[in-house]
């Protein structure tokens, strides 16, 4: 009987859609943040005459850089998960090779380890 495999395949197809939507969402969020400071090349030297403003600007830049970095990391994880789906490696624990429960993959589509292994590697 292949019922179980067929069900899993259908579940994985759903998760793939979920991942693709997530990737689109992350891509848009990154675009909404605009060009990076280095790409923008907008450097106003007059900022140096206003130390307080300058500090505020720096904090703002740091904040958006942190958000950008976070979004990039998430996008990378999603890309990586989609790559594994394509290679047929998706949904297996990286550590012990057992199938990761579909409920876990639904909650965390880019999970690479099953719950017991995740718990074991905590910290």
> Can you give the binding site for Zn ion, defined by CB under 5 A?
93, 95-96, 114, 117
Give the shortest CB-78-to-Zn ion separation in angstroms: 21
Nearer to Zn ion, 95 or 102 (CB): 95
Q: Minimal CA–CA distance to 43: which of 32, 59, 54, 29? A: 54
Nearer to Zn ion, 65 or 120 (CB): 120
First to last CA, the chain: 41
* Alpha-carbon torsion (29, 69, 37, 23), positive or negative: negative
φ/ψ bin of 23: left (φ > 0), alpha (ψ from -120 to 50), beta (otherwise): alpha
Give the shortest CB-96-to-Zn ion separation in angstroms: 3
Nearer to Zn ion, 25 or 92 (CB): 92
Give the shortest CB-94-to-Zn ion separation in angstroms: 7
């Amino acid at each position: 009987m292949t019922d179980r495999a067929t069900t899993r395949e259908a579940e994985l197809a759903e998760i793939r859609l979920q991942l693709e939507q997530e990737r689109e969402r992350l891509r848009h969020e990154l675009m909404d943040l605009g060009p990076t400071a280095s790409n923008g090349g907008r450097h106003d030297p007059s900022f140096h005459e206003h130390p307080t403003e300058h500090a505020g600007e720096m904090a703002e830049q740091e904040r958006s850089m942190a958000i950008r970095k976070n979004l990039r990391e998430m996008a990378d994880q999603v890309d990586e998960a989609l790559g594994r789906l394509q290679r047929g490696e998706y949904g297996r624990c990286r550590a012990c090779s057992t199938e990761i429960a579909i409920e876990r993959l639904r909650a965390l589509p880019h999970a690479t380890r099953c719950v017991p292994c995740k718990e074991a590697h905590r910290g």
